[in-house]
Amino acid sequence: MSAAALILAAGQGTRMRSATPKVLHELCGRPLVLWPVCAAQEAGADRVVVVDAPARALAGVLPEGVELAVQELADGTGGATAAGMAALGDRLDGPVLVIAGDVPLLSARTLAELLDAHARSGAAATMATTVLEDPGGYGRVVRDASGRVLKVVETKSDGDATPAEREIKEVNTGIFAFDAAALRDALPRLRTDNAQGERYLPQVLDLLLADGLTVAAQAIDDHSQVLGVNDRVDLARVRALAQAAIHERHMLAGVTIVDPAATVIDVHVQIGQDTVIEPFTSIRGRTRIGRECAVRCSYLLDCTLEDGVSVGPFAYLRPGTVLRSGAKVGTFVEVKNSDIGARAKVPHLSYIGDADVGEGSNLGAATITANYDGRAKHRTRVGSGAFTGVDTTLVAPVSVGDGAYTGAGSVITEDVPAGALGIARERQRNVEGYAERAREAQHAGEPARAPDARPERQG
Ligand code: UD1
Ligand code: MG
* Helical pair 77-88 and 203-210, crossing angle rounded to 10 deg: 70
Claim to verify: residue 207 and residue 277 sit in the same structural domain: no
The helix or strand, by DSSP H or E, that contains position 48, with its residue range, turns out to be strand 47-52
> What is the domain count for the chain?
2
Protein residue closest via CA to atom 34 of ligand 1: 13
Claim to verify: residue 287 and residue 194 sit in the same structural domain: no
Claim to verify: residue 220 and residue 254 sit in the same structural domain: no
Tell whether 440 is covered by a domain. no
Tell whether 432 is covered by a domain. no
Protein residue closest via CA to atom 10 of ligand 1: 138
Claim to verify: residue 270 and residue 218 sit in the same structural domain: no
pLDDT at 12: 85
pLDDT at 458: 41
Q: Are 40 and 97 in contact (CB under 8 A)?
A: yes
Q: Which of 223, 268, 348, 378 is the catalytic position?
A: 348
Q: Are 156 and 137 in contact (CB under 8 A)?
A: yes
Protein residue closest via CA to atom 35 of ligand 1: 230
pLDDT at 459: 37
Of 353, 362, 360, the C-alpha closest to 321 is: 353
pLDDT at 456: 45
* Domain residue limits at 259: 249-422
For residues 268 and 422, give the distance between their C-alpha atoms in angstroms, rounded to a whole number: 43
Tell whether 87 is covered by a domain. yes
**pLDDT tens track, the chain, 459 positions:** 689 999 999 988 899 999 999 999 999 999 999 999 999 999 999 999 999 999 999 999 999 999 999 999 999 999 999 999 999 999 888 899 999 999 999 999 999 999 999 999 999 999 999 999 999 999 999 999 999 999 999 999 999 999 999 999 999 999 999 999 999 999 999 999 999 999 999 999 999 999 999 999 999 999 899 999 999 999 999 999 999 999 999 999 999 999 999 999 999 999 999 999 999 999 999 999 999 999 999 999 999 999 999 999 999 999 999 999 999 999 999 999 999 999 999 999 999 999 999 999 999 999 999 999 999 999 999 999 999 999 999 999 999 999 999 999 999 999 999 999 999 999 999 999 999 999 999 999 887 666 665 544 443
Q: Which residues contact 453 (CB under 8 A, 6 or more apart)?
A: none
> Does the predicted model carry a pTM greater than 0.95?
no
Report whether the peptide linkage leading into residue 397 is cis, meaning its omega lies within 30 degrees of zero: yes
Query: In Å, what is the CA distance from 437 to each residue of 12, 176, 451?
Result: 76, 91, 10
Of 211, 226, 241, the domain-final residue: 226
pLDDT at 11: 83
Tell whether 269 is covered by a domain. yes
Claim to verify: residue 173 and residue 61 sit in the same structural domain: yes
Percent helix, percent strand, percent coil in the chain, to nearest 5: 25, 30, 50
For residues 71 and 332, give the distance between their C-alpha atoms in angstroms, rounded to a whole number: 49
Q: Are 34 and 61 in contact (CB under 8 A)?
A: yes
Is 334 in a helix, a strand, or coil? strand
Protein residue closest via CA to atom 8 of ligand 1: 200
Rg (CA), the chain: 32
For residues 99 and 141, give the distance between their C-alpha atoms in angstroms, rounded to a whole number: 17
Tell whether 76 is covered by a domain. yes
Query: In Å, what is the CA distance from 227 to each residue of 60, 235, 359?
Result: 26, 10, 49
Residues with CB under 6 A from ligand 1: 8-11, 22-23, 51, 71, 74-77, 79-80, 100-103, 138-139, 152, 154, 156, 171-174, 200-202, 228, 230
Looking at residue 157, what DSSP letter applies?
S
* CATH number, position 179: 3.90.550.10
- Look up 348 and say whether it is catalytic: yes
pLDDT at 270: 98
Q: Are 343 and 326 in contact (CB under 8 A)?
A: yes
For residues 344 and 327, give the distance between their C-alpha atoms in angstroms, rounded to a whole number: 5
Query: In Å, what is the CA distance from 257 to each residue of 176, 224, 263?
Result: 37, 23, 8
Claim to verify: residue 277 and residue 185 sit in the same structural domain: no
DSSP letters for 339-399: EEPTT-EEEES-EEESEEE-TT-EEPTT-EEE-B-SS-B--EEE-TT-EEPTT-EEESSEE
Q: Which atom of ligand 1 is nearest to the CA of 172?
A: 12
Pairing of strands 26-27, 30-31: antiparallel
Claim to verify: residue 177 and residue 259 sit in the same structural domain: no
Question: Burial, 386: exposed, middle or buried (Cβ in 10 Å; 0-12, 13-18, 19+)?
Answer: buried
Of 30, 33, 105, 28, the C-alpha closest to 283 is: 28
Tell whether 61 is covered by a domain. yes
**Count of beta carbons in the 10 Å neighbourhood of residue 217:** 22
296-324: buried (b, 16+ CB within 10 Å) or exposed (e) per residue? bbbbbbbbbbbbbbbbbeebbbbebbbbb
Tell whether 257 is covered by a domain. yes
Claim to verify: residue 170 and residue 278 sit in the same structural domain: no
For residues 296 and 267, give the distance between their C-alpha atoms in angstroms, rounded to a whole number: 20
Claim to verify: residue 95 and residue 168 sit in the same structural domain: yes
In angstroms, what is the span from residue 13 Cα to ligand 2's centroid?
Answer: 8
Claim to verify: residue 130 and residue 261 sit in the same structural domain: no
Q: Which residues contact 339 (CB under 8 A, 6 or more apart)?
A: 322, 324, 355, 356, 357
pLDDT at 448: 62
In angstroms, what is the span from residue 13 Cα to ligand 1's centroid?
Answer: 9
pLDDT at 368: 98
pLDDT at 451: 61
Residue type, 223: H
Tell whether 445 is covered by a domain. no
Claim to verify: residue 219 and residue 261 sit in the same structural domain: no
The helix or strand, by DSSP H or E, that contains position 436, with its residue range, turns out to be helix 434-443
Claim to verify: residue 119 and residue 65 sit in the same structural domain: yes
